[in-house]
A = this chain, B = another copy of it.
């Protein structure tokens, strides 16, 4: 029998609109129709009619000619899709040996699978990670993001003092590399300078006054602010 989605559930297409709106809403509340159509690679009229549809479902706030925003219901729905996406990426990398470049496309498809069991099981098998390796937080089963989400070191600027809180990934080589630099979880770090050319950072920590790390490495060092 042809498996069909429950009527009260967002279609895959609707889910993609919600997710895009969610991403575009990071750091602001309202989003333009045009931003959304650019993000989804779809025409303005298409977005316009979908937005009306999402409004009748109580997922977005919207008035003619005004920018739009997610309702609380819409925000939660979107966060749950993002949760599925990020858990999937994490699982593919951590448990199935994929590289980070390969997983996005697969997660784009798996994020629409209707089975909280599947994703909760992934979560469990990975010991409930709070962030994905890019430092992006993974929403919990209720669509909430833990307050203390860590950020990649690469996002900060010179002078910042931080504490190493987590690693973006935990390959043996990466761990060995960090050991060789005597950098471990909990270490306090200060950013001494940033090379504008390639984004590499010079850090000082413990008895290391000046160690250089590439941008790629700094993106996998997840930190929290100190002081």
Binding site for B on A (CB under 8 A): 1-3, 13, 16, 39-42, 92, 95-98, 102, 105-106, 108-110, 113-115, 117-118, 121-122, 125
Nearest 5 pairs of A and B residues by beta carbon: A1-B41, A109-B113, A106-B115, A3-B108, A2-B40
Q: CA–CA, A106 to B116, complex, Å?
A: 10
Chain B residues whose C-beta falls within 8 Å of the C-beta of A121 in the assembled complex: 96-98
CB distance from A84 to the nearest CB of B (A): 12
- Contact among B110, B114, B125 for A113, CB-based, below 8 A: B110
Chain B residues whose C-beta falls within 8 Å of the C-beta of A16 in the assembled complex: 2-3
Chain B residues whose C-beta falls within 8 Å of the C-beta of A40 in the assembled complex: 1-2
Complex: chain B residue closest to A3, CB-CB = B108
Some 24 contacts from A to B, beta carbons below 8 A apart, are: A1-B39, A2-B13, A2-B16, A2-B40, A2-B41, A2-B42, A3-B16, A3-B105, A3-B108, A3-B109, A92-B118, A95-B95, A96-B118, A96-B121, A97-B121, A98-B117, A105-B115, A106-B113, A106-B115, A106-B118, A109-B113, A109-B114, A109-B115, A110-B110
Chain B residues whose C-beta falls within 8 Å of the C-beta of A122 in the assembled complex: 96
CB distance from A2 to the nearest CB of B (A): 5
CB distance from A36 to the nearest CB of B (A): 11
Q: CA–CA, A116 to B188, complex, Å?
A: 36
Q: CA–CA, A117 to B1, complex, Å?
A: 27
Q: CA–CA, A105 to B113, complex, Å?
A: 10
B105 with A125: CB separation less than 8 A: no
